[in-house]
Structure 1
Amino acid sequence: MASTNKTNQLYDQVTTLVDQSLAAVLRKHSTANANQDLESAFANARSLLEKMRDQTNEDIRELRELSEWDTFTIAFYGETNAGKSTLIETLRILLGDSDKLATQQQFRDLTKDLGLDSESIASLELSIQNLQAQLAESQQHVDLLTRQLASEEQQQAASIEMLRIAIEHKRKQLNFWHKLMHVFRKMDEEKALSERELALVQLKAGNQARLEVIAAEPRKLHAELAAKTGEKANVESAFARLVPLQDGSIIGNGRSDFTLQSHSYQFVVGGQQFQLVDVPGIEGDEKQVMSSIDSSVKKAHAVFYVTRNATPPGSGSDGQEGTIDKIKRQLGKQTEVWAIFNKSATNPQVLQGQPLTNQNDAIGLADMDKSLIGSLGADTYRGHICVSAMPAFLAAATCLVPNNPHLRSREKFLASMGRDEILQRSGIQTFIHFLRSDLCQNFKIKIRDANLKKIRSCLQDGISHLNQARDNFANAAQKLDAQQKSASAQIDGLLSGTSQKLKSECHDELSVKKSAMRMAIYDFIESDQSNDDFKEYLTGEIEALKTSVGRELEARFARVFKSFTDEAEAIINKNQKNVSEILHYTIDDQFSSLNLSFNTDFKMDNGINVVSLISTLGGAAALVWASFLTSNPVGWTAAAVIGAVGLVFSFYKAVRGFFSSSYKKEQQRKSADENIEKIFEKMTEMLDGNLDSASAKINEALLLTKNQMRIPYEQSLNTKIALEEIALKMTTLRDKLVATPAAAATASAPSQSAATV
């Protein structure tokens, strides 16, 4: 109970630290982000982190349920028909598995009770075969005699029929006298007919008697055969009770669905407690056996990859996962993986040579070692071991029913060499020594280190996913930063160009108004008006500017602003598209390649609201334009302009003009020019000031827009930082779960021909 509590505390500690680390990161970033948009964006990162935490905790929970802390567990893993069950069955017999010993004793006791032995069963089979042959021969004799007697009877009957025909013909030839005489005396032929008919009756009776005597023999043989067949059925029924108890009942028949569930076999040898797990074959789509395979390898502290091929495990093709891919995925978290090359041997000659493997096998096994080291790492993959499991099983098996196909193979091998020699040459004795003296040594330390590695691997999976996600967001942030700066520069350039264009348009409009006003006043002067009328007219024209120039300037402003908003919208739409593509290719697609066991639905805002932007810009521009057009104190009027400028008139010149009309007109034109120039100069000054104010207002709105466009960058950067922090905390936790230094004494491979490290 104390050991169980201690291990549960370890898993609780890991889960608690993962939860606390995530909570600390989320709390820090939640309080740091005052910006509502960024806080909303961080909610996506929070969702991602929580999913990764839940996945890690789920993996830890599964390890808690599956991990074995008391019994050293060794899994036999490989493809169907690799010989895993054969090897385990042989070890059960030779190592004295308690369940196997009990089953063997049941087999012997039942065999004794049933009185079954090879000689009696063979004698029974021979008797049945002899009776079947005798019955066939006797029946054939009966059939032949029956046909012969029937032929004789048919011949006699035919002769009688011919005689009848002759008698009938002779009767027709008799005259009246002879017919009268025939009434009193039979013809000789009629006398002969009666004799022959009697003889036929006697012949049939005799034949029937002979057939009954002869048919008695097949009936007797058939009864004897039925008795022997019934006896055989009883024997077969007894076999049915013996078959589950015989050696080798766990050995498959080559079907991929023979072993669908893992089976564990317990051993206690020399005080060392361990168990062997027979894992279902890994070929095919594994749908039926995936759960059993996963739970078995997660429980195991050491794994034997069993194969019949002295070649590297196959790679996948056309999207199908290959054997080497499955090994990497399913065994990558183990601390100790060995390969067992199970040499096929259906003939004793295979065991005659030394070593067990030939030169071609050695080359292929060296390539296999390189492949498995490349997939699992040199710290996990320890080397290969060579055995020939079937000959070893045949030599070890003692409980086989007489009709077992292994029995004939066993006799063939034992006729060639002794039991102990087969066990030695097959490599099984060396393998058993390796199990007992090397692999299971320090098994308590190995159990702890293996389970700790699985926890570390669990954490490492989460760390790897976090780091990959971090890199994705860092890459996205870099690209989004460049994209935002580019879009901001385009908007700044657009605003600068628009300000210049707007000023140019407004100046053009004032120039047009100025020329038109000058022409109108000159026309009025040419009508030879008095100075008072001229002054009144000039003042009226200036007052009229308020309506006319405002309407025209507003039209020009609207055209320029429409062009500006269209171009700004195009820049922002393009930015949104680019941001969406960056997020898709650097985050969405990359998340799909992480092969996470949960679905990610990470979403991120890709920019700003175009309608909101245009509305903001329009509001800022309208505010400035309204202040320019209205007659409020901060606006302008003709009187204000005139008051600020002052009209230029000369009384002396006015008197002189009374006598000279041409001189008066000249002076009026001069006065008009001076006043128009000063008025439009003041209007231009006020207009430029208002345009600068408008640009400042629009720039203020655009600054908000540019800040909004930076939100995706801020989202990515904050998410990257959050992922980085939780990964660092999980790394610190992982590094605390270290193996025991005493475990440095690792197992070494069996020597000579049985293994190669």
Structure 2
Amino acid sequence: MNEDQDSPSQIYQKIQLIINELIQKLSQDTSDLSTKETTELSRDILTKLHVEISQQLINLEKNAEWDTFTIALYGETNAGKSTIIETLRIILAEELKNKQQAEFKQWQLESGISVELIEQTRQGILDNEAMLKKCHFDWKVSQQGLEQTVDRCETEKLSTKEKLDSAQATATLLQRFIWLFKKMPQLSAYQAASKNLEQGTQAFTEQTARYQQECLDISANVEGLQSRHQQIEVQVNQAQSLADGFIIGNGRSDFTLDTQSYTFEHDGCKFNILDVPGIEGKEDKVSDAIWKAVHKAHAVFYITSKAAAPQKGDASNPGTLQKIKQHLGAQSEVWSIFNKRIQNPIQLEKVTLVSEGELESLAVLDKVMVEHLGDSYQKSLALSAYPAFLASATCLLPGSRDQGMQSKFLNKFDAADLLAKSNINAVVGMFDQSMVNDFKAKIVRSNKHKAKQIVSSALEDVTGLLSQKFTPLLQTLTSELKDTDTELNTLVATLKSRLSNRAREVVRHFESSVRSSTYDCIDDNISNDDFKDSLESNIEKYQKRLIESMPDIMNKEMDAFETSLKDIVERFQTQSSELLGLYNNIDSVDTSLEVDIDHGINVWGVVGAVGGGIALFWTPVGWAIIAVSAATLVFQLYKAVRSFFSSNYKQSQQRKSTDENISTVSKSINEKLDNTLANVMQEVEANVDIIKQAMTTSVEHIEVVNQKLKLAKSELKMLCKQLES
């Protein structure tokens, strides 16, 4: 692939074409060993692989950015990605940020809202609330005194009234006459007490009215100031989206749900920065946004608030490290940025931003990232985004926390020192020709690298299938097949030996029975004619018993053989199934392996036929009684004459003739048994060979898939090399 000749759309189309050709080639059934099931299994595996690759390439092509160099700020939730981006927007004079700042300043000019105004309003509310509180306190003190005065006047009035009433009730006529010309003292005292009560009550009423009015006046001031403050808050909230820091999160894990893109132009280069949702938030809501962002990006800044390697997880709960590997494995350029949290200017008084311990931890982080991302990983940088933001921000909301923190930091350091101490300039310096120079080539290289990673992932799946599943499975099944073959050969040999031994035992029993029965007759000193009849009768009798007993005797051996044969086949099937279950559980491309030893042959029917079918060979049909040769029983003349004079000699000759005839008949029987046994074993071996072939085919089934996967591995490896060149 020549990147100068390939347009962006052609690159993925060519990859897709190559993959399609590969799958088509691998799906063709070119092997005589491949059965229908083998072809289907191969096709299933490769089709799943094909669908997965195709879908990933479609997503990559859909989200790929070919015109503008794009950097994604990716990382942990609440690690400071948005703070870094907002600071860069201000420092690098991002166009939208410039527009927002201009609108903010115009709003501030028109509204007249300033920190001083807000502070005056807040202080006015506090002062009036304090006045109202003091008014309440003073009135409470005054009220207590006035109430005591009124109570005292009422008591005095009652006392003088009682004295007046008593004096009037007990007065003499003379005293009454005198009171006509001179006011009685008790009356004067009572009238004075009544006047005092009236004056005290009036004073209480007047002071209560003054207190209530004063409270109303102060409360009105408070309400007015609060209303003004609320109006200011409304106006401030209206300008919130224009203020510096609006995009910065508030600590919620789901603050950023969608990827935000910001366009920059710096040092003659144009580039985009993506603010990616945090990878540790509500991932069900943001996973799609994260994937789209990392597919679009040509370089990634991994932002972390901890000077430590990302944490590992487990199978059920993937850690940050697994997520980074999953999300960024296809990137061609990855940096780590340690954003040190600083909320107090005292923390910046140290000579260096990061401590020795943090530097050592960052070295470990770099090592771990290289292990997981390879040559794509660059190195780590350290900065403190929040102080840098406070140093660069010029449009903070009046009265906001950020405005207060800015005053706190700038009282300690000037803006230039604060920027230098935050080390934000190390990142700003990256957005010059060193990073975005020759961005077209970088874009093509990055997008090709992502495509290569998709193919590499497929290659890993195929390699995993081979190394973890099919190759060891094939080796183990081959070993199992070899052991089973040896076991079957031993079983057949044992059957042949046992059948032969049982046949010989039956013949020996026949010989013994004929000999014993005939010898008993000879011991009775029978004539030669009787001897001949007896011998013929015994041979026929016991030969008939031999023929009748043979099926049961031999069929027992065949039944035992059939049971053992069935056990061996079942054991092979069980062991194969267990192996398949084991290898099916290995994590890789989903495959459902099955070994069916039938493959169109009724193996279990063959197993059953070995015993039942072979039993027909031992039936009495076709077994003729072997007659005694008459010539064998004809004695020589001299033997007959001598036998006439000697009974002992005659009996010995009869026994000798018995043995000779038994030997002759036994030889014929053995020959017939040997022929039958040969036919039996030929049939047994033929059926066992059928079973062996069925089991061999089941292993060849896996071997064919193995071969197809090896070819896929080779082709995918070649495609990876083409994408690298």
**Same fold at TM > 0.5:** yes
Asked if the contact 2:340–2:385 (Cα under 8 Å) also holds between the matched residues in 1, the reply is: yes
| Greater alpha carbon shift after TM alignment, 460-469 vs 509-518 | 509-518
2:452–2:720 CA contact under 8 A, matched in 1: yes
1:617 shift after superposition:
1.4
One-letter code aligned to 2:242:
L
Q: 527-536 vs 475-484, which deviates more?
A: 527-536
Mapped to 2, the partners of 1:576 and 1:240 lie a distance apart of: 75
1:732 corresponds in structure 2 to 718
Greater CA drift, 324-333 or 69-78: 324-333
Secondary structure of 1:638 counterpart: coil
Question: Quick check: 1:681 aligned with 2:667?
Answer: yes
Q: Distance in 1 between matches of 2:334 and 2:55?
A: 25
Equivalent residues of 1:44, 1:603 under 8 A apart:
no
- Give the match's secondary structure for 1:82: coil
* Structure 2: gaps (5+ residues): none
Q: Take 1:230 and 1:308, find their aligned partners in 2: how far apart are those partners?
A: 41
Shift of residue 205 of structure 1? 3.0
* Distance in 1 of aligned mates of 2:154 and 2:139: 22
Alignment partner, residue 618 of structure 2 = 625
| Distance in 1 between residues matched to 2:472 and 2:315, nearest whole Å | 31
Residues 184, 14 of structure 1: alpha-carbon distance in 2 compared, 3 angstrom cutoff: same
Q: After the TM superposition, which of the residue ranges 545-554 and 89-98 deviates more from structure 2?
A: 545-554
What letter matches 2:624 in structure 1?
A: T
| 8 Å Cα contact 1:546-1:638 kept in structure 2 | yes
The reply on whether 1:616 has 2:603 as its aligned counterpart is no
Q: Which secondary structure does the structure 2 equivalent of 1:252 belong to?
A: coil
- In the TM superposition, what is the alpha-carbon distance from 1:646 to its structure 2 partner? 6.8
Q: Assess, with a 3 A threshold, how the Cα gap between structure 1 residues 140 and 678 changes in structure 2: closer, same or farther.
A: same
Q: CA deviation at 1:212?
A: 2.2
What's 1:303 paired with?
300
SS state at 2:431 partner: helix
Counterpart Cα distance in 2 of 1:313 and 1:681: 88
The letter of the residue matching 1:372 is M
Q: Which residue of 1 aligns with 2:139?
A: 142
Residue of structure 2 equivalent to 1:743: none
Question: In the alignment, is the contact (CA less than 8 A) between 1:260 and 1:289 conserved in 2?
Answer: yes
Counterpart in 1 of 2:595?
604
Deviates more, 1:275-284 or 1:183-192: 183-192
**1:118-267 equivalent positions in 2, closer than 5 A:** 118-167=115-164, 189-190=186-187, 192-194=189-191, 196-267=193-264
Q: Are 1:93 and 2:86 an aligned pair? A: no
Is residue 491–residue 571 contact of structure 1 (8 Å, CA) maintained in 2?
yes
The CA distance in 1 between the partners of 2:188 and 2:349, in whole Å, is: 92
Q: Mean alpha-carbon deviation: is it higher for 132-141 or for 456-465?
A: 132-141
Root-mean-square deviation (Å): 3.3
Instruction: Please say if residues 79 and 307 of structure 1, whose CA atoms lie closer than 8 Å, have aligned partners that are also in contact.
Output: yes
For residues 252 and 103 of structure 2, what CA distance do their matches in structure 1 show? 28
AA paired with 2:110? D
| Alpha-carbon distance between aligned partners in 1 of 2:653 and 2:315, rounded to the nearest angstrom | 99
Change (3 A) 1:316 1:672: closer
- Alignment partner for residue 466 of structure 1, among 462, 468, 483? 462
Q: How many residues matched?
A: 716
Q: How does 1:274-289 map to 2 (within 5 A)?
A: 274-283=271-280, 286-289=283-286
Looking at structure 1, the residues matched to 233 and 696 of structure 2 have their Cα atoms a distance apart, in angstroms, of 84
What amino acid sits opposite 2:506 in the alignment? E
Gaps of 5+ in 1: 740-757
Match of 2:562 among 545, 562, 565: 565
Aligned partners of 1:75 and 1:297 also within 8 Å: yes
Determine helix, strand or coil for the equivalent of 1:435. Answer: coil
Aligned to 1:33: 33
Moved more, 346-355 or 418-427: 346-355
Q: What's the % identity of the aligned pairs?
A: 28
Which secondary structure state, in structure 2, belongs to the residue aligned with residue 339 of structure 1? Answer: strand
- Please state how far the C-alpha of 1:451 moved relative to its aligned partner: 0.8
What is the aligned partner in structure 1 of residue 388 from structure 2? 392
**Structure 2: how far apart are the matches of 1:449 and 1:406?**
41
Residue 447 of structure 1 corresponds to: 443
Structure 2 distance, partners of 1:542, 1:342, is: 109
Residue 692 (str. 1) matches residue 678 (str. 2): yes
Q: What is the rounded CA distance, in whole Å, between the counterparts of 1:43 and 1:32 in structure 2?
A: 15
CA distance in 2, matches of 1:550, 1:494: 26
Letter in 1 for 2:427: F
Tell me by how many angstroms 1:703 deviates: 1.4
* Alignment-derived partner of residue 56 in structure 1: 53
Letter in 2 for 1:588: N
Q: CA deviation at 1:610?
A: 7.4
> Greater shift after overlay, 358-367 or 434-443?
358-367
**653 and 548 in structure 1: CA distance in 2 versus 1, 3 angstrom threshold:** farther
Q: CA distance change for structure 1 residues 183 and 564 in 2, over 3 Å: closer, same or farther?
A: farther
1:157 Cα shift?
0.9
Q: Distance in 2 between matches of 1:688 and 1:385?
A: 91
TM score, norm. by length of structure 2: 0.89
What is the CA distance between 1:82 and its match in structure 2? Answer: 2.2
The answer on whether the counterparts of 2:33 and 2:704 sit within 8 Å (CA) in structure 1 is no
Counterpart-to-counterpart distance in 2, 1:580 and 1:602:
9
SS of corresponding position for 2:577 = helix
After alignment, is 42-51 or 358-367 more displaced? Answer: 358-367
Question: Greater CA deviation, 299-308 or 387-396?
Answer: 387-396
- CA deviation vs aligned residue, 1:542-572 (integer Å, no higher than 9, x gap): 4444531122222221232233233333333
1:33 and 1:39 in contact (8 A); partners too: no
Q: Hey, what does 1:720 align to over in structure 2? A: 706
Tell me the TM-score normalized by structure 1: 0.86
| Residue equivalent to 1:752 | none
Query: Hey, what does 2:18 align to over in structure 1?
Result: 17
Match of 1:486 in 2: 483
Q: Secondary structure at the match of 1:692?
A: helix
Secondary structure at the residue paired with 2:303?
strand
1:536 positional shift:
5.0
Shift, 1:469, TM fit: 0.8
What CA distance in whole angstroms lies between the structure 1 residues aligned with 2:542 and 2:631?
A: 16
On the 8 A contact 1:243/1:249 being kept in 2, the answer is: yes
Residue among 633, 649, 661 paired with 2:634: 649
Query: Distance in 2 between the 1:182 and 1:506 partners?
Result: 173
User: In the alignment, is the contact (CA less than 8 A) between 1:607 and 1:710 conserved in 2?
Assistant: no
Alignment counterpart, residue 578 of structure 1, candidates 575, 580, 592: 575
Letter paired with 1:624? F
Provide, for residues 431-477 of structure 1, a one-character-per-residue CA deviation record: whole Å limited to 9, x for no partner: 22321221111111111111111111111111111111112211121
Residues 666, 345 of structure 1: alpha-carbon distance in 2 compared, 3 angstrom cutoff: closer
Choose 660-669 or 136-145, whichever is displaced more: 660-669
Report the more deviating stretch, 419-428 or 509-518: 419-428
How far the C-alpha of 1:661 sits from its partner, in A, is 8.8
Q: Which amino acid aligns with 2:273?
A: L
Asked if 2 retains the 8 angstrom alpha-carbon contact of 1:531 and 1:654, the reply is no
Alignment match, 1:106: 103
Q: Is 2:500–2:677's contact at 8 Å kept on the other side of the alignment? A: yes
Pairing of 1:425-574 with structure 2 (within 5 A): 425-471=421-467, 472-524=469-521, 535=532, 538-545=535-542, 547-574=544-571
Q: CA deviation at 1:528?
A: 6.5
Distance 1:163 1:561 in 2: 142
Structure 1 contact 347–413 (Cα < 8 Å) conserved: yes
Find out whether 1:414 has 2:424 as its counterpart.
no
> Structure 1's 299 and 168: CA in aligned 2 closer, same or farther, altered over 3 A?
same
Does the 8 A contact of 1:580 with 1:606 survive in 2? no
Q: Does the aligned pair in 2 maintain the 1:649–1:671 contact within 8 Å? A: no
- Write out per-residue CA displacement over residues 301-340 of structure 1, whole angstroms, 9 at most, x where no aligned residue: 1011122333333344796544333322321211001112
Distance 1:737 1:534 in 2: 102
Q: Which amino acid aligns with 1:734?
A: C
Q: How has the CA–CA distance of structure 1 residues 647 and 171 changed in structure 2, closer, same or farther, with 3 Å as cutoff? A: farther
Query: Do residues 75 (structure 1) and 76 (structure 2) align?
Result: no
Question: What whole-Å deviation, never above 9, does each CA across 1:96-131 have from its counterpart, x for those lacking one?
Answer: 222212222221222222221223222222322222
Q: 1:214 to 1:566 in 2, by over 3 A?
A: closer
